[in-house]
């Protein structure tokens, strides 16, 4: 069968249910991103924008928004949402957050959905932060979302997460999302998982069965702090959830950093 393709490189069951999956995982994050834009101002650059899930919410709130993502299938879905948002617009670009040049500056850069962790090396992360700084106005802000690693889930023999069942947003069918294989490298802080997406009708008949590979690198809290400082940012705030609770182990890492 060969190796499964990486996340988001093709039109797939995964890209079709992405918004529903993100809502299940992140809960109330859209209100959080809207409040950040209201507090720190625009224009807004949404890195790892995916399907435009956050970008369109900010555009509807009256902000100029530009989205960048390296997945063409996800960007096609983002652009298709324009008809659902009359009177607003978002400009989308295909590109890699570790190496991009949009030729302009922004008042706010957001990196939602833990997408920063797709960058596999420290060098990639440093390059991304350098690009972000070049695209921020003086005094502009970066807000970035990561997960805070729970070590019991990142051991080589740790069990996979439980299966998640979602409703397909367009067809109303059931979609089971499960991790069927995983490799953990604690020294490199790398996690590689094979995810299976199975669509079933009301009778339980399998309609589609697809597999994709997720590779990500986790960051410890003080590692993130040092990366931001080395990139020249000033730390403004640090929270553990989208309600802006104080830092706590094993939840979110939500950082607000300011470009001097």
Q: SS in 3 state form for 59-97? A: HHCCCCEEEEECCHHHHHHHHHHHHHCCCCCEEEEECEC
Answer yes or no: is 7 within a domain: no
Beta-strand (E) ranges in the chain? 44-47, 65-69, 90-94, 106-111, 136-147, 164-167, 174-185, 190-200, 206-217, 234-239, 252-258
Answer yes or no: is 8 within a domain: no
In terms of domains, do 119 and 21 share one?
yes
Tens of each residue's pLDDT in the chain, 260 residues? 578 999 999 999 999 999 999 988 887 899 999 999 999 998 999 999 999 999 999 999 999 999 999 999 999 999 999 988 988 989 999 999 999 999 999 999 999 999 999 999 999 999 999 999 999 999 999 999 999 999 888 888 888 888 999 999 989 999 999 999 999 999 999 999 999 999 999 888 999 999 999 999 999 999 999 999 999 999 999 999 999 999 999 999 999 999 99
Answer yes or no: is 1 within a domain: no
pLDDT score for 139: 96
In terms of domains, do 109 and 63 share one?
yes
CATH number at residue 178: 2.20.25
Answer yes or no: is 2 within a domain: no
Strand partners, 68: 47, 93
Answer yes or no: is 47 within a domain: yes
In terms of domains, do 137 and 201 share one?
no
pLDDT score for 1: 57
Strand partners, 253: 146
CATH number at residue 92: 3.40.50.150
Which two structure tokens, joined as six digits, stand for 99? 């190496």
Q: Single out the residue in 215, 232, 248 at which a domain terminates.
A: 215
In terms of domains, do 155 and 228 share one?
no
Do the beta carbons of residue 193 and residue 178 sit within 8 Å?
no
234: containing domain? 13-148+218-258
In terms of domains, do 238 and 117 share one?
yes
In terms of domains, do 121 and 133 share one?
yes
In terms of domains, do 81 and 139 share one?
yes
In terms of domains, do 61 and 78 share one?
yes
In terms of domains, do 240 and 119 share one?
yes
In terms of domains, do 34 and 91 share one?
yes
Answer yes or no: is 6 within a domain: no
Answer yes or no: is 177 within a domain: yes
Measured CA to CA, the distance from residue 112 to residue 54 in angstroms comes to 8
**Alpha-carbon torsion (109, 55, 38, 249), positive or negative:** negative
Answer yes or no: is 211 within a domain: yes
pLDDT score for 115: 95
In terms of domains, do 239 and 169 share one?
no
In terms of domains, do 183 and 199 share one?
yes
- Segment holding 223, helix H or strand E: helix 221-230
Contacts of 96 (CB under 8 A, 6+ apart): 70
User: Could you give the number of structural domains in the chain?
Assistant: 2
């Amino acid at each position: 069968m060969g190796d499964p393709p990486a996340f988001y490189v093709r039109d797939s069951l995964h890209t079709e249910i992405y918004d529903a999956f993100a809502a299940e995982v992140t809960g109330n994050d859209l209100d959080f991103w809207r409040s950040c834009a209201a507090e720190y101002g625009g224009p807004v650059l949404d890195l790892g924008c995916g399907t435009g899930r956050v970008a369109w919410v900010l555009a509807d709130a009256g902000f100029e928004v530009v989205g960048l993502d390296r997945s063409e299938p996800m960007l096609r879905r983002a652009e298709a949402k324009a008809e659902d948002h009359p009177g607003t617009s978002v400009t989308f670009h295909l590109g890699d957050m570790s190496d991009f040049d949009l030729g302009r500056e922004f008042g706010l850069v957001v990196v939602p959905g833990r997408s920063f962790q797709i960058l596999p090396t420290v060098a990639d992360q440093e390059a991304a932060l350098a690009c972000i700084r070049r695209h921020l106005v003086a005094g502009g802000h970066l807000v970035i979302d990561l997960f805070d690693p729970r070590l019991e889930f990142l051991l080589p023999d740790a069990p996979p997460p439980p299966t998640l069942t979602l409703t397909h947003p367009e067809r109303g069918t059931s979609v089971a999302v499960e991790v069927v294989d995983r490799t953990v490298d604690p020294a490199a802080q790398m996690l590689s998982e094979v995810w299976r997406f199975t669509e079933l009708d009301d009778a339980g008949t399998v309609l589609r069965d697809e597999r994709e590979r997720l590779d990500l690198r986790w960051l410890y809290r003080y590692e993130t702090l040092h990366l931001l400082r080395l990139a020249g940012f000033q730390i403004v705030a640090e929270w553990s959830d989208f309600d802006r609770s104080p830092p706590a182990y094993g939840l979110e890492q939500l950082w607000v950093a300011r470009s001097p």
